[in-house]
Amino acid sequence: MDDGPEQLSDEQWNCLLRDGFVHLTNVYTSEEIEAMKAAEANAFDEAPYGRKEETGEVEDSNRVVGIGDDIDVIPLMHLPDNEARILKTLPGKPIIANTAERVLGKDFYLDRTVARRSRARSGGRLYFHKDQHGDLGMMVLVYDITEEDQGATVVMPGTHLGTPLPLFTMPNINDKHQKEVQGLGSAGDVYLFFRDIDHGRSANLSDHNTTQLLYTFVNKNTVPASWSRQGAKKEHLAGLPDNIHHMMRPYDGRPSDNYSGWVERFLYGSDFFSPGSGDYDVRNDLIRDFVYTITTFRGKDVEDLGEDPLPRYFTVLARKIRITPWDYLKKINFGLMVTNLCKQFYRRVFLGRRTIDNLKKSEYSEALPSL
């Protein structure tokens, strides 16, 4: 079966680096697309409200979904291989795997693998946010999405290049933005993107459900920690291609408690948090995000990553792009910053750090914002 082009064109590669995402067509054959549709339909027929990512257990109408109760999520690696093989093998296409290696270096991992269905006539948007630094995301359209507001992922072009958190740059992170780009296209189309780009999800105002398949890749020294991966068992991978097995291998990078220098120790090994930080990790803590950005993006336009694995949460952009403190600070809306930090500080003082941490560990709060 024809695997198509093995590499992005120069134009596509430059688009990915510049805008933070690239739209690929004709990646999969018509037979693969039909098999994808059949597998998706069967998966949701068996679990109309989705499955728990960490166990694969079928959900019911009483489920608690942190990204909206009009969204159903199914972890792909938990599905029986004879029913969902095509959904597990899509990241193995040469053009996808080769691009992931070009962005992350050799021996990268496949982390999160889910199907996300947006229900018809559901008006809620998912707010603009950033996901984990250093990830490459992949979205596959299962059905045509030819018009806006049909539940597709939306992105803000260029905001993967040292743009602070949306909470400190956008007056309203819930509203539709005039510069946003929605992930439109035909069934089988692919979007590759840096997951720390500002992104959210549009409302689905159409009269039909829409489904996207979502995959995440991380480099050799970044621990793949998604629920859908942690819950996958050996039998879920039986019979899959060798390259998928390699992407799903147990973590074999630098130990997570082995920090390379003071920056890693500060970012990932300390209990520091900004006075008003409102969320759970470096990408949603303004001070730590600032330190990460100015110490990571110190590149000199290097194209070849070489043989040495990248540090944790790095991509090729760290070797190609340089971002100064002023590049970062000038993008902050300081009025928003003061307002939001005061609100978050007030919450922390009156709720207390322990209460907030416990809330984050609840089923609702652990459904972290995703694509």
pLDDT on residue 69: 60
Weakest mean pLDDT among 41-50, 118-127, 208-217, 361-370: 361-370
pLDDT at 352 over 80: no
pTM here is: 0.90
Weakest mean pLDDT among 21-30, 192-201, 317-326, 346-355: 346-355
Residues 192 and 198: their CA atoms lie apart, in Å, by 14
Q: Give the pLDDT band of residue 369 (cuts 50, 70, 90).
A: very low
Contacts made by residues 22-26, CB under 8 angstroms, sequence distance 24+? 22/191, 22/192, 22/193, 23/183, 23/185, 23/189, 23/190, 23/191, 24/95, 24/189, 24/190, 24/191, 24/192, 25/185, 25/186, 25/189, 25/190, 26/188
Name which residue leads in pLDDT, 254 or 367. 254
pLDDT at 371 over 50: no
Q: For 15-27, what is the mean pLDDT?
A: 97
Residues 95 and 140: their CA atoms lie apart, in Å, by 14
Weakest mean pLDDT among 69-73, 196-200, 240-244: 69-73
pLDDT on residue 107: 96
Q: Give the pLDDT band of residue 91 (cuts 50, 70, 90).
A: very high
Residues 323 and 130: their CA atoms lie apart, in Å, by 18
Percent of the chain with pLDDT over 90: 66
Class of domain 10-247: mainly beta
Mean of per-residue pLDDT scores for the chain: 87
Domain with CATH 2.60.120.620 in the chain: 10-247
Q: Give the pLDDT band of residue 304 (cuts 50, 70, 90).
A: low
